[in-house]
Amino acid sequence: MENLISVKNLYLGYDNADVIKNLSFEFYDGEFLCIVGANGAGKSTLIKGILGFIKPSKGKITFNNLKQSNIGYIPQDTSVNKMFPASVLEIVMSGTLNRNGFGSFYSSEQKEIAVNSLKRLKIERLKDKSFSDLSGGERQKVLIARALSATTKLLILDEPSNNLDQKSRLELYDILRDINEKDKISIMMITHDLDHKNLVGNNILSINEGQYFYGSTEEYVKEIHHE
């Protein structure tokens, strides 16, 4: 498998206080990595470092055959206000600007990308609805569809199942697994869902007070749950 991101001896934080200390791992094309750990452990900090929002105090993050325009990203606190006066299709089409650039109007190709993303999330029926009229769970799925419209390479998701009930959460995990396996899109996902039956990724990065585990989901389950 092709290496997409190399993290080497990374120190990362805010105001001269590092949260991530001496972290190294490799992220590969086709991987579905779940990042787990307690609140404040540095999960979102790591993602912000990978996206270039904050700079390492030491160490390196290296992209290999990967550009920012190859990444679809959903932060924990989304920038799209729930009262934003736009249709679902318009919101999702805005994701295509990441890879197609800005223009006066959306092209037919951009619309097709957006509709296909809605289909992948099984919410095509919502495309003409106002974003403000959706439930919290529906809005989250729309934002994931927007992120999917931004990439053919890598999705980075910061706790995407936060606003979903159990049934919708498991459905979302099935969709993400399908996107990873069938569409060959790599996924890096922060999750608080530590029920090992719901750890959908093939690899786990656990961050715990400067202690790290990086390996297969099976190895993680055996080490943490003694199974």
Query: pLDDT (tens digit, 9 = 90+) per residue, 93-109?
Result: 999 886 655 555 788 99
- Give the span between the Cα atoms of 171 and 52, in whole angstroms: 31
Residue 71 lies in a domain: no
Q: Is there a single domain that holds both residue 127 and residue 59?
A: no
| Alpha-carbon separation of residue 214 from 41, 76, 97, 106, 123 (angstroms) | 15, 22, 34, 41, 34
Residues composing the chain: 227
Give the tokens for residue 62: 């290296």
213: helix, strand or coil: strand
Asked whether residue 73 is domain-assigned, the answer is no
Q: For the full predicted model, state whether its pTM sits above 0.75.
A: yes
pLDDT at 79 exceeding the cut of 60:
no
Residues 215 and 168 in one domain: yes
Domain tally for the chain? 2
Is residue 88 within 8 A of residue 166, CB to CB? The reply is: no
Q: Which domain holds residue 128?
A: 84-151
The pLDDT assigned to 165 comes to: 81
Distance CA 146, CA 113 (A): 10
**Domain contains 2:** yes
Mean pLDDT, range 26-33, rounded to an integer: 95
User: What does the pLDDT read at residue 22?
Assistant: 96
Q: Is residue 35 part of a domain?
A: yes
Digit-coded pLDDT (tens) for 174-211: 889 999 999 999 999 998 876 666 678 899 999 987 78
- pLDDT confidence tier of residue 214, bands split at 50, 70 and 90: very high
Under 8 Å between Cβ of 145 and 129: no
Say yes or no: 167 and 226 in one domain: yes
Residues 115-142 pLDDT 10s = 999 999 989 999 999 988 888 788 888 9
Please give the average per-residue pLDDT across 148-162, as a whole number: 90
- Point out the domain boundary residue: 95, 119, 151: 151
33-75 pLDDT tens trace: 999 988 888 999 999 999 999 999 999 999 998 887 789 998 8
pLDDT at 216 exceeding the cut of 80: yes
Average pLDDT score over residue span 20-36: 95
Task: Give the model's pLDDT for residue 2.
Answer: 87
Listed in sequence order, the DSSP H helices in the chain are 43-50, 88-93, 97-100, 108-120, 136-149, 166-182, 217-225
Query: Could you tell me if 98 and 110 lie in one domain?
Result: yes
User: How does the average pLDDT of the chain come out, rounded?
Assistant: 87
What pLDDT score does 170 carry?
A: 85
The number of beta carbons lying within 10 Å of the beta carbon of residue 146 is: 27
Same domain for 224 and 158, yes or no, is yes
Question: Of the residues 116, 151, 186, which one is the last residue of a structural domain?
Answer: 151
Q: Which of 118, 151, 184 is the last residue before a domain boundary?
A: 151
In a domain, 74, yes or no: no
Contacts of 38 (CB under 8 A, 6+ apart): 208, 209
| 82 has pLDDT over 70 | no
Asked if residue 167 and residue 223 are part of one domain, the reply reads yes
Question: How confident is the model at residue 80, as a pLDDT?
Answer: 60
Q: Could you tell me the CATH number of the domain that includes residue 182?
A: 3.40.50.300
* Contact present, 206 and 219 (Cβ < 8 Å): no
173 shares a domain with 61: yes
Do 142 and 162 have their domain in common? no
Average pLDDT over residues 162-183: 86
Q: Is residue 76 part of a domain?
A: no
**Shared domain check, 143 and 161:** no
